[in-house]
Amino acid sequence: MGGGQTALRKLRWLVRAEAKIKVIAPEVDPEIQKLRDAGKLTIEKSLFYPDAVTSNLVLVISATDAPNVSEEVFVAAMAQGVLVNCVDRTELCTVIFPAIIDRFPILVAVSSMGRSPTLSRSVRGWIELRLPNALGQLAELAGRLRSEVKTKLPSVDARKAFWEEVFASKAADEAMYGSMDAAVVEAEKMMARASSDGSIVLVGAGPGDPELITLKGLRAIQSADVLMYDKLANPALLEYARRDVELIDVGKKGPREAVKEGSDAARPSGTTMQQEINQTLIEQALKGKKVVRLKGGDPFIFGRGGEELLAAAEQGIAVEIIPGITAAMGGASYAGIPLTHRHMSQSVRFVTGHSVEHGVNIDWPELAKPEQTLVIYMGLVGIEKILQRLVDAGRGDKTPAVLLENATLPNHREVFGTLEDLAGKVREEGIDGPSIIIVGEVAGIPAQVHERYAASSIEASTSS
């Protein structure tokens, strides 16, 4: 019943499901007329009458605002034992329609059991954002390879792992956004590997906030047989792994943890620990497993990802690198600091404070040049020396500088100052978590933003 836009929305789904449909309404939308002309449905131009509902119908839908019609439809349907749905009248429904996410042939249905269709639609919107538009192409790829996979990978577990890997791979991207033929070739290569070797994926977990991981990184976690992680990767991300995943904690201790624990003597060096990590990665991959190495920030920014890649390559093991948001970018954005800014900073450098401690040859005059931003990783231990050296090399002692501790996490702390006073303020605050230091005029921007907001609210209150 009904011939307007609401009816049309329902009709589109029913037509797609190839249902036999009759529309009863005094007037119908031109689009409904077109469906009739295409032979998809029939129309009876009439007001509702109870005898229209006969027991051979499967479903009756009332999609009209006309007063009392839904009640009459409901009574008639109940009398004939036919399923009924009256739009926006949950109490007059024996059937409800979920909100649908259509990535044909993948369909996702969201229902609030009739309590709040609006909430269902919102949930649908959230899910929509996460599902690639061309998801249906993936189902197409799976359909094409299904029987070949069954023959080549007789074990159910191997097939499951293979498909998980395919859906998180370049083959999936090819299928969804490129060409199906290229996707098939890529997936066939993976099939050949799946019957023999394992692989390694280095995934950037982002600086802390688990939502800063990439979708690709998340999919890799979901398909891992073995998940190796360290203390910088947020533990919340481990929740996305399969239930049967093997978790390996390869957390390295920094110098401050060693100091806190009293002695550094028995602790293996970072290099020894890195060699052990490389070894474990290789051993697991050689067992034919998909090993995901979850690394804080980006794997290739002060993350020793390059060493892991080289070690795996030496053994002929395939490695995929999935980038992450590095601490500098995540931290700066969350603190409202643009790392480059017109007329203020034309370049940005990422450097490590470790080199200061270890007396590595550093070109201080180069680092101290104006109109550039310096981001210093692992600089907390040597902060006094680092900032002093920059001043000695010519950067003004009033240059803004900030230390960001646990950036992007709920327990973050920000200490703002200048090259002259930042180190003292940081010690006063008792900062001891993972931290970066940002040096340059851009570190003064949050204060300017604050001032402008304050000024704008004064103006707003005086003009009103």
Ligand X SMILES: C[S@@+](CC[C@H](N)C(=O)[O-])C[C@H]1O[C@@H](n2cnc3c(N)ncnc32)[C@H](O)[C@@H]1O
Active site residues: 230, 252
203, 205, 209, 204: which is closest to 335 by C-alpha?
209
Q: Give me the least distance between CB of 278 and ligand X, in Å please.
A: 15
Among 298, 308, 320, 414, binds ligand X (CB under 6 A): 298
Place of tokens 């190495």: 293
Q: Give me the least distance between CB of 310 and ligand X, in Å please.
A: 17
- 3 state DSSP class of 209: coil
Measured distance CA(70)–CA(90) in Å, rounded: 11
378 binds ligand X (CB under 6 A): yes
Q: Give me the least distance between CB of 271 and ligand X, in Å please.
A: 13
Among 70, 234, 408, 418, binds ligand X (CB under 6 A): 408
Among 149, 232, 309, 387, binds ligand X (CB under 6 A): 232
297, 299, 288, 304: which is closest to 165 by C-alpha?
288
Q: How many CB atoms lie within 10 A of CB 61?
A: 25
The contact mask relative to ligand X for 190-219 (x = CB under 6 A, - = no) is: -----------------xx-----------
* Span from 19-27, 38-46, 78-86, 323-331 in contact with ligand X (CB under 6 A): 323-331
Of the two residues 71 and 257, which places its CB atom closer to ligand X in the complex?
257
Among 200, 407, 431, 443, binds ligand X (CB under 6 A): 407
Among 326, 372, 373, 399, binds ligand X (CB under 6 A): 326
406 binds ligand X (CB under 6 A): yes
- How many positions of this chain bind ligand X (CB under 6 A)? 23
Q: Give me the least distance between CB of 301 and ligand X, in Å please.
A: 4
From residue 228, how far is each of 77, 85, 290 by CA, in Å?
A: 59, 51, 11
Q: Give me the least distance between CB of 305 and ligand X, in Å please.
A: 8
Of the two residues 171 and 232, which places its CB atom closer to ligand X in the complex?
232
- 3 state DSSP class of 177: helix
Measured distance CA(440)–CA(351) in Å, rounded: 14
Measured distance CA(335)–CA(446) in Å, rounded: 7
DSSP designation for 341: B
Among 74, 167, 377, 416, binds ligand X (CB under 6 A): 377
Q: Give me the least distance between CB of 330 and ligand X, in Å please.
A: 7
The contact mask relative to ligand X for 77-96 (x = CB under 6 A, - = no) is: --------------------
* Span from 1-9, 104-112, 213-221, 294-302 in contact with ligand X (CB under 6 A): 294-302
382 binds ligand X (CB under 6 A): no
* Exposure string for 402-440, b = 16+ CB within 10 A, e = fewer: bbbbbbbbeebbbbbbbbeebbebbeeeebeebbbbbbb
Of the two residues 2 and 208, which places its CB atom closer to ligand X in the complex?
208
Place of tokens 């399969």: 242
Place of tokens 């900032």: 387
Cβ contact 35:9 at 8 Å: no
In sequence order, what are the residues at sequence separation of 6 or more whose Cβ sits closer than 8 angstroms to the Cβ of residue 159? 149, 150, 153
Of the two residues 145 and 378, which places its CB atom closer to ligand X in the complex?
378
Q: Give me the least distance between CB of 338 and ligand X, in Å please.
A: 18
Among 2, 117, 296, 400, binds ligand X (CB under 6 A): 296
Of the two residues 50 and 251, which places its CB atom closer to ligand X in the complex?
251
Among 198, 210, 303, 323, binds ligand X (CB under 6 A): 303
Of the two residues 172 and 439, which places its CB atom closer to ligand X in the complex?
439
The contact mask relative to ligand X for 416-435 (x = CB under 6 A, - = no) is: ------------------xx
373 binds ligand X (CB under 6 A): no
Place of tokens 């789904």: 13
* 218 sits in which H/E element: helix 215-222
Q: How many CB atoms lie within 10 A of CB 222?
A: 15
In sequence order, what are the residues at sequence separation of 6 or more whose Cβ sits closer than 8 angstroms to the Cβ of residue 337? 402, 438, 442, 443, 445, 446
* Span from 19-27, 50-58, 301-309, 453-461 in contact with ligand X (CB under 6 A): 301-309
Among 2, 331, 440, 444, binds ligand X (CB under 6 A): 331
Give, as ranges, the residues between 116 and 135 that touch ligand X (CB under 6 A): none
In sequence order, what are the residues at sequence separation of 6 or more whose Cβ sits closer than 8 angstroms to the Cβ of residue 451? none
Q: Give me the least distance between CB of 357 and ligand X, in Å please.
A: 12
Q: Give me the least distance between CB of 160 and ligand X, in Å please.
A: 31
Exposed / middle / buried, residue 56 (Cβ in 10 Å: 0-12, 13-18, 19+)? exposed
Of the two residues 377 and 416, which places its CB atom closer to ligand X in the complex?
377
Q: Give me 145's structure tokens.
A: 């390879």
323 binds ligand X (CB under 6 A): no
Q: How many CB atoms lie within 10 A of CB 170?
A: 16
Measured distance CA(62)–CA(82) in Å, rounded: 13
Sign of dihedral through CA atoms 402, 407, 408, 414? negative
**What is the binding site for ligand X (CB under 6 A)?**
207-208, 232, 295-298, 301-303, 326-327, 331, 377-378, 404, 406-409, 434-436
